[in-house]
Amino acid sequence: MDSLTQIILGAAVGEAVLGKKIGNKAMLYGAIAGTIPDLDVIASFFTDTVSALEIHRGFTHSIFFSVLFAPIFAFIVTRFEHYKNLKDWSWLFFWTFITHPILDAQTTWGTQLFWPLDIRLAFKNVFVIDPLYTLPFLVFLILAMRQKKDTKKRRFYNNLGLIVSCSYLVFTLVLKGFAYQKFSKELTTQNIHYKTFDTKPTPLNTILWSANIETENSFLIGYSSFLDTNPIQFSRYPKNHHLLGDLANHPKIKRMIAISKGWYTINKKNNTLYFNDLRFGLLSIQPNAENFVFKYKIEVDKNGTPFLTEEPKEKKDGKKLLSDLWLRIKGN
């Protein structure tokens, strides 16, 4: 999830663990701890694109990291804070660390919660930024913050924020189930033969859902709002995996394919190959759009080693997407 949401979650968890004893400092340390797992993005400054993608939401988003580093951070804090209970501080850091990847596991990218095992949990029931999750949570946190540390009202508001936010996540799983059934029924109705398909919410909402469908030689992408009255339209994207040629056997390309879980297409423009990661969709909901959110240019050096560079995104595409989403959510 986005940084603001993780800060709010961390602050609420910190308050739940230690707020009664140290007041708003529990929220402060919880908010800071809630952002620490995302420091893995620093790796992008020191390594290549593929390695950075592998590292992201890996070790720092694992149970192992939470168990190992919680007491270390707790020890550091007790060196200068008046409250010295190492066990209490360890619990604060552990729960703020571990709830971060559990929340991230609800998104499309997912997390390697069980690192070093190569298992990435991605339930894909919320978008990385979801106002319906974040804003009510923030309101309850602010209400709790305004109360004295030992009052029942403070605990009530904070606990209510945690309950409402968790309930919303459960609700989105139910919505994902409904969306899945709707796409499944539509694929059968349209007599589309497929290998597998997956669903995820579109940006900033859980009313309009998208689906990636794998067929023999192509992928289909479709959108469905719970307010739709007409059949779902699917756009077709040829896999074009053959365009990779011998590059398909190079370890770096194999790693990239593994990262995408096989949800990728290749296209060629001006003798340059591009790797499109379909998991995160497009910066458009228009039929047959081609501006994928994550598109990587493949360049090969004189030794035959491929280098992947993420293509920049156009701000105008993002602005148009937001306006198109508002219209599409209302139904087709």
What are 288-309's pLDDT values in tens digits?
999 999 999 999 988 888 999 9
Residue 161 forms part of a structural domain: yes
Residue 184 lies in a domain: no
Q: Residues 219, 208: contact at Cβ < 8 Å? A: no
Is there a domain that residue 183 lies in?
no
Q: Is a pLDDT exceeding 90 seen at residue 241?
A: yes
Encode 36-52: b = buried (16+ Cβ within 10 Å), e = exposed.
Answer: bbbebeebeeeeebbeb
Mean of the pLDDT values across residues 140-160? 95
Given a cut of 90, whether residue 332 has pLDDT beyond it is no
106 with 223, same domain: the answer is: no
For residues 8 and 151, membership in a common domain is answered with yes
Domain presence at residue 185: no
Based on the domain organization, do 40 and 149 belong to the same domain?
yes
Beta-carbon neighbour count of residue 63 at 10 Å? 16
Instruction: Decide if pLDDT at 118 tops 90.
Output: no
Residue where a domain stops, chosen among 173, 207, 237:
173
Which residues form the domain of 72? Answer: 3-173
> How would residue 126 be classed by pLDDT, with cut points 50, 70 and 90?
very high
One domain for residues 166 and 195: no
Tell me: do 53 and 116 sit in the same domain: yes
Question: Scanning the structure block, which residue is given the tokens 């910190």?
Answer: 14
- Residue 122 and residue 202 in one domain: no
Per-residue model confidence as pLDDT tens digits over 268-280 = 999 999 999 999 9
Supply 70's token pair.
């919680």
Shared domain for 195 and 153, answered yes or no, is: no
Domain count of the fold of the chain:
2
CA nearest to 133, candidates 218, 240, 206, 70:
206
214 shares a domain with 97: no
Average pLDDT, the chain: 95
pLDDT band at 43 (very low <50, low <70, confident <90, very high): confident
Residues 18, 127: one domain?
Answer: yes
pLDDT cut 70: percent of the chain above it: 100
Q: Give the mean model confidence (pLDDT) for residues 241-246.
A: 96
Does one domain contain both 146 and 194? no
Q: Give the lowest-confidence range in 10-14, 28-32, 54-58, 168-172.
A: 54-58
pLDDT confidence of residue 139: 98
Question: 182 lies in a domain?
Answer: no
The reported pLDDT for the residue numbered 243 is 97
Residue 234 domain-assigned (yes or no): yes
Q: Is residue 69 part of a domain?
A: yes
Cβ-proximal residues to 325 (8 Å cutoff; 6+ apart), any chain? 202, 203, 204, 205, 208, 285
Query: Tens digit of pLDDT for each residue in 87-104?
Result: 999 999 999 999 999 999
